[in-house]
Structure 1
């Protein structure tokens, strides 16, 4: 089949105008599936491989032939910024065709939304939260809006595979299809899919269609990678006089904030270039941006650093995005995951990653921001570490982030491994959310009808009718739902307060946020504002709080010089067991890695020697002196948590464990009145017992873990935590494989 000839004339013109000599393999494969089958399609290929065009060339060709007065394509993306970016790209592709591109999210004017409702057509771009709002608040308009829906395109599919947000998205797609009485095809796009079979199954669940995942021979990629290590104060690991036991604070005439060699390294290497500087939290993003700007001031150079994260105002985020797209602006942007996904920020020369991300997927996405104009992807890791104190024990002598960074790279380089979809076992928090959403949208319905609407959604396949009855009885008790005289169910007064708040649309945890203003400019949001007169950090600068309006959640401030920490709420990292296992192998093998630079090579050699001397190559349990022990399980975050619970609940009395502390998922420390043999004898016996995971929940504990757990009955909260958070199977596997 000549794919080019199947494309609509305006697509052919677009290809001619852009001087393309041929179609890319992913574009040919996508067109064959979309034109010749009725299947869902999973398109997985490297960043900048043309996936967006691969999906939309055939989709636009099809809908242009038979336009209808309905949205024909629903495009779902995890970020508003990605929608805005793709909005411009799709408008360029469809100009002069009559195909309308619409956006629907919090920053879009109501006038545009009203126009869509009045005359629906073309392509609608939306986030999961805005789709939730649309289904609840415009429920009666759904059939008219979507009666001609043919395709649902899900961009950055990998970001939906391991969270309740993904579950919410696919629940909404099923509900939408039933309301509009359509059976649209789903097209998933991602650059970082490891297990294609599992991802295809996830994409197609509840769609009533088969899912194709065409295998495309990807071009051999060349990476430009480096990894350097820095102690936050000199001397460094390569110094001839380096002796960890004799480290003292260095004498310097540079301000303390400018004494961090890792930040200085980034400052020097981004001069005259356009780069992204990735951090793992908004707090660190703010801190790094402040320090880099102080370097500019100290060196009497213009400020060339921008900032981009989820708590900044839309205007400030857009400013950074526009500057990065400007080919003549040599600026660098400190960013979190908000610039990790597929936003085109122009030709970047390099990306810098401060410390290691938690996932292979995150590493690949961040590196994929570069190399988009015919140049190889380029990423430079900067690993920072404080000098351990002279009395520091073994676990504190290990550069965990350095090992983690190497593990992420090696897992992909050696096996092309990426984190698989997270199995949804008992998602009760999301079950509450979708129950309330369904009642809010549809109004009164019988318990049986409600159950048939909610429990039949594919994401809830493991939830029993008995558990759903327990949930509904509890919601009646706390007035989140009410029974009518006819025996039907409606929202209760307490439930209406929850559903009628805009924060209800999101299923991920949110902190109580305050909007920050300086003069007439909105800077973004913070949590837990300090007292008036204290300082806050946001937008890469420091501000003094002048006034706090707690009723309206507003903070007013003015800018000052200086450097302080920022706080936006807790950030947790979920690491897969395979990453920890590869970290252990790195520690014990002799292999050298070509991307390690001088300091990183020296630091790795040092920690390998430390591990060998401590017998970490043979033992998972290390005596730190007397009754003090360190335990290194080398398992993932949730297997580690289950193991932690096993020790504290089932092994504690037998081993007389005390002073128990853990640094998840790396190590635990404790004292015990037992030796090594007794420890493993008890651990293996207890791990092999056939016990219910609920036994690893403390007696009076109600472990609220997800956003809506607080509205669930205690028994379901405990059951969800035990079966969906604690990874008992992985814990048992790791104990079986442990060396003494």
Structure 2
């Protein structure tokens, strides 16, 4: 495809030229599917849109031509602003609009009746559009779909939902062309497989990767602490870096850490530099205010989380600082790319370890980034709870033939191996609720008539549409100033339940005082008369990736560590002298007394979720062996258990069959299963959080889901939702796959070291937060011993 002359004039007026990968996209504009991998700042979004702009330049197309899908509403709004510039300056007859959860109802209604040429949206809004009866008319002229930051969507159920929506669009528009854009892809072939409309393959285009980023670890005068995640020791050094640069993004792994760091940074900001904070629990108006200030260049720094991970183009950002170990190299590269967002300009980033062990993790991440060694776990089969929701969405749009829908679904990469029996199970669930629930009318949502499936009650379409989506928000309450209406943000319902009048906490970087609950809002005043609690924002608690954990283990086998600061190198040498360093093909177990308790530290390097699950399994096995465990705490690399009796032979604790049996028993009655069931049942449509009258509170949803779970577990243990729940629990919250990977690579090889004091590597574990008590025989024995001692002290031992 050749660009019209007006495009060349526009490029020339700016001293630009079409990049090779942009020309490649023009040359392959008619390909069924393309995946472009281009560095951040390399003009990949414009490359995705150039064929569309060229095709629309003559004004000969009526209606919707191109859909653009992004993971973030803010990114869609940013792209709309960026697209308007060339369209307006070239005088192109092209309408561009966005459609997200923030779009007004009036605008949404108008877009369905009179769609723009280019519509920018999110997976949830696209799924909603496909649910209407008039969808075939709206999408009649659709030619192309552009999926931006496709790697971020491919890792979640939002990506599965998007690809199912694309299968519906492809059925309505057989010549639809698909384009995927990304800067950080560890497995391009896997992403291409997911983007393709099977069996048609997806072509992969690679842009010049440009210069390597300028990344290093920030050296601070004060040594990192032994534990913790707030990196307070680095505040002066970070503030100095902010002063030396135009605009700095300071990334954190959790919202709570971002709030605490922003608070401490602001207290140290003696020169009153303009600094903002941005994360997903802040009110939308406050986030937009910060984004606008960034665009104007009014802020010198912004403390943020994953809400700014993706491709928002702020050209003045010349430094990225990552606080805490990045846990995942791909995420680190994505965040680094926010700095110097220009073609062939190296990004600049600094890593700040929050504690001593994170120094090692940060060095491993730097080495992996320099080696272009991205990490990622292989994606499993398409989740069936998302498929159930898709079937209901399809029914909202009108009657359908099951054979046709099954064929559509199988064109999606994640569902390419779906069997007809699995599909029929999902269809039966949507129609009846399943064996144990088919007597209840509320779950009879579909009926078969004359070979086609219909909604049993057309009014149910409203409820289904209100609950479209796969994002499971934690139960959150709005935070409002007393007497005001404008929210400051949101906090977790469980956190709010712990507050008493007068407590203070951080929200949006300021300290507020809890005054009480009013209806469904947390009322606060601006008073800072005592140290704040930190709101327990759920956000995402990242686990260190398998690849990064393996790099750390390989580092441990070096004779020396010249790449580490002296204090950390000395720490590892001391560990080697008093015990040993963990190895990849062996499990290191250390036993030592501390505070009159027997402590055992198990180094599995399996990631936080898996190490926590390991703690539950090990303490169950220890209980069976009469070792009376009292509790445990887990990190990404180890699990520390304390109890009344020492472990003398840890090897039997890792017997694979016994551990698996214990895991199945534990999982069946654990709260993790109920929590997972609630999420999957909501996605599948069994539980409706959003109702026409009002949204269910977290407690209401939990109560109803717990009753359903107990009912199905008792009367229909093979119910589809229980099958899905187990699959999701294994894959997500408990991460049992990482435990199996650990057991496989160590193959029963256990090194047990018995000592008389904590080792350098175990000592930080004693300071870790999040201790989990074990209410077993050990706790009972401890209570009995305490009671007996009290009786002796009172002279009542003989009574």
Q: Shorter chain as normaliser: what TM range?
A: 0.7 to 0.9
User: Matches of residues 560-709 of structure 1 in structure 2 within 5 Å?
Assistant: 560-561=527-528, 564=532, 565-569=534-538, 571-590=540-559, 592=561, 600-617=565-582, 620-625=587-592, 628-636=599-607, 653=624, 658-659=629-630, 661-670=632-641, 679-680=650-651, 683=654, 686=657, 695=664, 698-701=667-670, 702=673, 704-705=675-676, 707-709=679-681
In the alignment, which of 182, 188, 195 is matched to residue 174 of structure 2?
Answer: 182
In the alignment, which of 502, 507, 513 is matched to residue 476 of structure 2?
Answer: 513
Partner of 1:736: 747
In the alignment, which of 262, 280, 284 is matched to residue 289 of structure 1?
Answer: 262
Flag structure 2 segments of 5+ consecutive residues without an equivalent.
687-719, 752-799
**Structure 1 residues 571-608: Cα deviation after superposition (integer angstroms, max 9, x where no partner):** 332443111111222233256576x6xxx442243234
In the alignment, which of 19, 23, 37 is matched to residue 24 of structure 1?
Answer: 19
Separation of aligned partners in 1, 2:634 and 2:457: 43
**Structure 1 residues 331-375: Cα deviation after superposition (integer angstroms, max 9, x where no partner):** 211111111110012312312211012311211111111122565
- C-alpha distance 461-540 of structure 1, shift in aligned 2 (>3 A): same
Question: Is 2:423 the counterpart of 1:413?
Answer: no
Separation of aligned partners in 1, 2:217 and 2:373: 20
Separation of aligned partners in 2, 1:126 and 1:589: 50
Partner of 1:394: none
The CA RMSD over aligned residues, in Å, is: 3.7
Separation of aligned partners in 2, 1:495 and 1:64: 42
Separation of aligned partners in 1, 2:53 and 2:509: 42
Separation of aligned partners in 1, 2:731 and 2:347: 40
- C-alpha distance 378-458 of structure 1, shift in aligned 2 (>3 A): closer
In the TM superposition, what is the alpha-carbon distance from 1:675 to its structure 2 partner? 7.2
In the TM superposition, what is the alpha-carbon distance from 1:643 to its structure 2 partner? 5.8
Contact 1:480 1:495 in 2 (8 A): no
Contact 1:323 1:331 in 2 (8 A): no
| Partner SS for 1:103 | strand
What TM-score, normalized by structure 1, do the two folds share? Answer: 0.81
In the alignment, which of 98, 108, 122 is matched to residue 103 of structure 1?
Answer: 98
**Structure 1 residues 200-221: Cα deviation after superposition (integer angstroms, max 9, x where no partner):** 11221x3553211123442332
In the TM superposition, what is the alpha-carbon distance from 1:278 to its structure 2 partner? 0.9
Contact 1:105 1:126 in 2 (8 A): yes
Separation of aligned partners in 2, 1:628 and 1:33: 63
- C-alpha distance 56-259 of structure 1, shift in aligned 2 (>3 A): closer
Question: Is 2:369 the counterpart of 1:369?
Answer: no
| Partner SS for 1:560 | coil
Contact 1:481 1:489 in 2 (8 A): no
Separation of aligned partners in 2, 1:453 and 1:187: 19
Separation of aligned partners in 2, 1:428 and 1:369: 35
Separation of aligned partners in 2, 1:271 and 1:93: 34
Contact 2:216 2:366 in 1 (8 A): no
Partner of 1:379: 349
| Partner SS for 1:713 | helix
Question: Is 2:396 the counterpart of 1:403?
Answer: no
Partner of 1:717: 725
Separation of aligned partners in 2, 1:660 and 1:548: 34
Separation of aligned partners in 2, 1:308 and 1:729: 38
Partner of 1:275: 248
Contact 2:545 2:607 in 1 (8 A): yes
Separation of aligned partners in 2, 1:663 and 1:736: 22
- C-alpha distance 543-64 of structure 1, shift in aligned 2 (>3 A): same
Partner of 1:15: 11
- C-alpha distance 117-536 of structure 1, shift in aligned 2 (>3 A): same
Contact 1:704 1:717 in 2 (8 A): no
In the TM superposition, what is the alpha-carbon distance from 1:470 to its structure 2 partner? 4.8
Separation of aligned partners in 1, 2:675 and 2:382: 14
**Structure 1 residues 13-64: Cα deviation after superposition (integer angstroms, max 9, x where no partner):** 22112111x4333223333332xx5231111121111211222223321343
In the TM superposition, what is the alpha-carbon distance from 1:490 to its structure 2 partner? 3.2
Separation of aligned partners in 2, 1:13 and 1:224: 38
| Partner SS for 2:340 | coil
Partner of 2:766: none
Contact 2:98 2:121 in 1 (8 A): yes
Partner of 2:54: 61
What TM-score, normalized by structure 2, do the two folds share? Answer: 0.76
Separation of aligned partners in 2, 1:407 and 1:495: 53
In the alignment, which of 121, 124, 128 is matched to residue 129 of structure 1?
Answer: 124
Partner of 2:397: 442
Separation of aligned partners in 2, 1:148 and 1:723: 40
Contact 2:448 2:454 in 1 (8 A): no
- C-alpha distance 30-732 of structure 1, shift in aligned 2 (>3 A): farther
Separation of aligned partners in 1, 2:375 and 2:274: 35
User: How many residue pairs align between the two structures?
Assistant: 678
Partner of 2:201: 210
In the alignment, which of 305, 310, 313 is matched to residue 341 of structure 1?
Answer: 310
Flag structure 1 segments of 5+ consecutive residues without an equivalent.
248-257, 386-398
Separation of aligned partners in 2, 1:445 and 1:513: 38
Partner of 1:543: 512
Separation of aligned partners in 1, 2:280 and 2:750: 43
Partner of 1:480: 443
User: Matches of residues 246-265 of structure 1 in structure 2 within 5 Å?
Assistant: 260-265=232-237
- C-alpha distance 498-305 of structure 1, shift in aligned 2 (>3 A): same
In the TM superposition, what is the alpha-carbon distance from 1:507 to its structure 2 partner? 0.7
- C-alpha distance 169-651 of structure 1, shift in aligned 2 (>3 A): farther
Partner of 2:696: none
**Structure 1 residues 508-550: Cα deviation after superposition (integer angstroms, max 9, x where no partner):** 2212233333446432222323455543422211223456432
Question: Is 2:190 the counterpart of 1:198?
Answer: yes
Contact 1:199 1:420 in 2 (8 A): no
Separation of aligned partners in 2, 1:181 and 1:207: 15
Partner of 1:433: 389
In the TM superposition, what is the alpha-carbon distance from 1:612 to its structure 2 partner? 4.9
**Structure 1 residues 209-252: Cα deviation after superposition (integer angstroms, max 9, x where no partner):** 32111234423324142234687xxxx37xxxx9x9xx9xxxxx
Separation of aligned partners in 2, 1:8 and 1:593: 57
- C-alpha distance 31-645 of structure 1, shift in aligned 2 (>3 A): farther
